[in-house]
Amino acid sequence: MSFRTIEWRGDKVVMIDQTKLPTEEVYNEYSDFQGVAEAIRGMIIRGAPAIGVAAAMGVALGARDIIADTHESFFRQLSNVCDVLARTRPTAVNLFWAIERMKRVAEANRDKDINSIRAILKAEAIAVEAEDLQICKAIGANGAALIKDGATVLTHCNAGGLATAGYGTALGVIRAAHESGKKIKVIADETRPWLQGARLTAWELMKDNIPVTLISDNMAGWLMQNGEIDCCVVGADRIAANGDTANKIGTYSVAVLAKEHRIPFYVAAPISTLDLSLDSGAKIPIEERTITEVTQIKGIQIAPEGVKVRNPAFDVTPARYVTAIITEKGVAHGDYLESLSALAKG
Ligand SMILES: CSC[C@H]1O[C@H](OP(=O)(O)O)[C@H](O)[C@@H]1O
């Protein structure tokens, strides 16, 4: 990987600005948790695992700057930092998983002095990032076995190094298959309206010399109908206990088309994307974003001013359309209620 999605550097958190890609590779520095929260909300950093890492680093930054002479005051202010970060985006469960992990670590060290707790939280945030990279490599290894040599793989949105601490989940599977010597090709959906596929996935795969062809979202069905797609691999933002999967808007359409054409449809995600408290995808909160993401491209108006717009950023694919769910602990298929909880406990 020739770029860093996010890292703690000196006394700042540094992130690549994903709103500027692919034309500019710009790195932003953040010295407070409010800046990190705005970066998540504004999709400077995006992608379920990546915003989990960002949230963890935001908590650590917030803890560092709290002015408190009692533990009661410190923990009260720390709770406010966590609340601000938790309100940034509602769908990706990794954000909440990371915040809860930081809260648990702080509570477990409540007996220590405040400065020690600050240092421990910084170390924990850095560990979250390092672990995510290893998790992605394990997902890649588990998923690569499912990708046949010579396959053409369709992916939707960006579930790559830019959506994680590096290497990627869906793109991690693709990278691992490529690195194992398999001659695979990738079809990347542009992924309207935010264009993660066109701007981010194509950029990442070209940097790694992995053959990639960009299509507009409405071309996927035609390619499947013509036998040009061998399998689909996508990421996830939240997976319910029964395997229903929330992912970028348009994923559900790809999954239904794949089922129609008997094409395997794989979801690649870390265990931290599982939300086993939900028995189905019906209750997964779906983020609605600003209308200008639909009516403008790079600030250029492409629809009449005042037109009514919907902009749900995610949809939910029912488990019956998902061939298998690839995690760092193994591959779940069949009865997801059983196989996912077994992986989560494993
Ligand atoms: C590795 S999961 C990435 C996941 O997150 C994306 O959403 P967004 O770009 O809005 O953060 C998309 O759903 C990807 O599949």
What's the total number of domains in the chain?
2
186 pLDDT band, cuts 50/70/90, is very high
Query: Mean pLDDT across the stretch 273-298?
Result: 97
pLDDT at 230: 98
pLDDT digits (tens, 9 = 90+) for 316-331: 999 999 999 999 999 9
- Considering the domain architecture, whether residues 182 and 43 belong to the same structural domain is answered as no
- Considering the domain architecture, whether residues 30 and 94 belong to the same structural domain is answered as yes
pLDDT at 168: 98
pLDDT digits (tens, 9 = 90+) for 210-234: 999 999 999 999 999 999 999 999 9
Kindly state whether residue 119 falls inside one of the protein's structural domains. Answer: yes
161/168 Cα distance (integer angstroms): 4
pLDDT at 165: 96
Show Cβ contacts of residue 2 under 8 Å, excluding neighbours closer than 6 positions. 207
User: Of 189, 237, 244, 315, which is the active-site residue?
Assistant: 237
Q: Residue 120: which of 88, 162, 74 has the closest Cα?
A: 74
- Considering the domain architecture, whether residues 178 and 70 belong to the same structural domain is answered as no
CA 113 centroid distance within chain: 35
pLDDT digits (tens, 9 = 90+) for 104-139: 999 999 999 999 999 999 999 999 999 999 999 999
- Considering the domain architecture, whether residues 180 and 34 belong to the same structural domain is answered as no
- Considering the domain architecture, whether residues 101 and 202 belong to the same structural domain is answered as no
Structural domain containing residue 187: 139-345
Kindly state whether residue 71 falls inside one of the protein's structural domains. Answer: yes
pLDDT at 115: 98
Kindly state whether residue 1 falls inside one of the protein's structural domains. Answer: no
- Considering the domain architecture, whether residues 78 and 130 belong to the same structural domain is answered as yes
Find the 162 Cα to ligand 1 centroid distance in Å: 9
- Considering the domain architecture, whether residues 110 and 154 belong to the same structural domain is answered as no
Whether residue 198 has pLDDT greater than 90: yes
Could you list the residues known to form a binding site for substrate, using ranges: 46-48, 89, 196, 247-248
77 pLDDT band, cuts 50/70/90, is very high
- Measured by CA distance, the residue closest to atom 5 of ligand 1 is 47
Give me the CATH number covering residue 251.
3.40.50.10470
pLDDT at 265: 98
Kindly state whether residue 15 falls inside one of the protein's structural domains. Answer: yes
- Considering the domain architecture, whether residues 297 and 279 belong to the same structural domain is answered as yes
Show Cβ contacts of residue 90 under 8 Å, excluding neighbours closer than 6 positions. 285, 286, 287
Kindly state whether residue 278 falls inside one of the protein's structural domains. Answer: yes
Average pLDDT, the chain: 97
Listed residues 79, 112, 137: the one ending a domain: 137
- Considering the domain architecture, whether residues 122 and 200 belong to the same structural domain is answered as no
Listed residues 108, 137, 166: the one ending a domain: 137
Whether residue 1 has pLDDT greater than 90: no
169 ligand 1 Cβ < 6 A? yes
Q: For the range 285-293, what are the long-range contacts, defined as Cβ-Cβ under 8 Å and sequence gap of 24 or more? A: 285/90, 285/91, 286/90, 286/91, 286/246, 286/312, 286/313, 286/314, 286/315, 286/316, 287/89, 287/90, 287/91, 287/312, 287/313, 287/314, 288/312, 288/313, 289/194, 289/313, 293/193, 293/194
pLDDT digits (tens, 9 = 90+) for 139-181: 999 999 999 999 999 999 999 999 999 999 999 999 999 999 9
- Considering the domain architecture, whether residues 228 and 323 belong to the same structural domain is answered as yes
Find the 224 Cα to ligand 1 centroid distance in Å: 23
pLDDT at 346: 87
Probe target for ligand 1 pocket from 18, 40, 44, 196, with the most ligand atoms within 8 Å of CB:
196
Catalytic, 244? Answer no
Could you list the residues known to form a binding site, using ranges: 46-48, 89, 196, 247-248
Listed residues 89, 122, 137: the one ending a domain: 137
Give me the CATH number covering residue 74.
1.20.120.420
Whether residue 73 has pLDDT greater than 80: yes
- Considering the domain architecture, whether residues 48 and 102 belong to the same structural domain is answered as yes
- Considering the domain architecture, whether residues 59 and 165 belong to the same structural domain is answered as no
Closest ligand 1 atom to Cα of 160: 1
Whether residue 334 has pLDDT greater than 90: no
